[in-house]
């Protein structure tokens, strides 16, 4: 059974810092990995999708990497802003289903 | 623009009542999913569908049912609501996995309280 963990569970940083969120998984037989953002009381917004054959994806200040052999993905946020405060979840797609990590709650302080 | 909507957004019901949560997507996606999100458990899959007339059980399907009569809709029914089913419910859709960009899109969620 696929197990997904995210470390740290919560993170608080001052504005302007670069930061890394981690996602680990136990079964490397995945189709792709998706990073989401969830604001309090809201739904999930897709940030980046990395196909299993790719090593990384970039969108603006966000960069996500994937290392299937070690069962890890990282989400790098450059020059963090208070508006980045949210919970970040990774989700693995294998077969036609998704398994979600528990999320990292990020607070960026002004 | 294509979207995925859920209704109602908030619902309060009593134990033992039947409740149906609606999910409608205009992406024309084959695959649709229902999740529940609870503190300490994250997102867990309830039911999913790969197309019309297809339904499958997920990790936490007991007490829930779905039906898929068209591409756009996947209603979730709680047969006899229980307090343990108080949660936030999310509907999602995605393309067929043979398409490379297999991205999942989420609705805004329904907050259900069972008293």
Q: How far apart are CA B111 and CA B45, in angstroms?
A: 16
How many other CB atoms sit within 10 Å of the CB of residue A42? 13
pLDDT at position B112 is 98
Which residues of B fall within a CB distance of 8 Å from A102? 42
Q: Are B27 and B102 a contacting pair, CB within 8 Å?
A: no
Q: Once rounded to an integer, what is the mean pLDDT over residues A32-53?
A: 91
Shortest alpha-carbon distance between residue A82 and chain B (Å):
22
Q: Which residues are bridge partners to A105 per DSSP?
A: A10, A87
Q: Is A106 exposed, middle or buried (0-12, 13-18, 19+ CB in 10 A)?
A: buried
A58-88 tens-digit pLDDT:
999 999 999 999 999 999 999 999 999 999 9
Q: Identify all chain B residues contacting A43, using CB atoms and an 8 Å cutoff.
A: 90, 106-109
> What is the torsional sign of CA B6, B29, A27, A2?
positive
Query: Which chain B residues are Cβ-neighbours of A48 within 8 angstroms?
Result: none
pLDDT of residue A106: 97
Q: Assign A37 a pLDDT band (cuts: 50, 70, 90).
A: very high
> Of B35, B44, B29, B28, nearest to B6 (Cα)?
B35
């Amino acid at each position: 059974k696929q197990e997904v963990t995210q470390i740290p569970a919560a993170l608080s940083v001052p504005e302007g810092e670069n930061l890394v969120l981690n996602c680990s998984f136990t079964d490397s037989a995945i189709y792709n990995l998706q990073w989401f953002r969830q604001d309090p009381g809201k739904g999930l917004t897709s940030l980046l999708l990395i196909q299993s054959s790719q090593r990384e994806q970039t969108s603006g200040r966000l960069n996500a990497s994937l290392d299937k052999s070690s069962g890890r993905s990282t989400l790098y946020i450059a020059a963090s802003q208070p508006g980045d405060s949210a919970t970040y979840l990774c989700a693995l797609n294998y077969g036609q289903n998704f398994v979600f990590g528990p999320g990292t709650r990020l607070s960026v302080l002004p | 623009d294509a979207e995925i909507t859920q209704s109602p957004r908030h619902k309060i019901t009593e134990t033992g009542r039947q409740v149906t949560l609606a999910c409608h997507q205009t992406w024309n996606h084959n695959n649709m999913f229902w999740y529940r999100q609870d503190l300490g458990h994250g997102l867990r899959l309830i039911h999913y569908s790969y197309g019309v007339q297809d339904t499958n059980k997920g990790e936490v399907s007991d007490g829930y049912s779905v039906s898929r009569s068209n591409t756009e809709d996947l209603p979730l029914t709680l047969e006899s609501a229980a307090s343990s089913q108080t949660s936030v419910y999310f509907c999602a859709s995605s393309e067929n996995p043979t398409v490379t960009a297999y991205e999942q899109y989420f609705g805004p969620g329904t907050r259900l309280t069972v008293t």
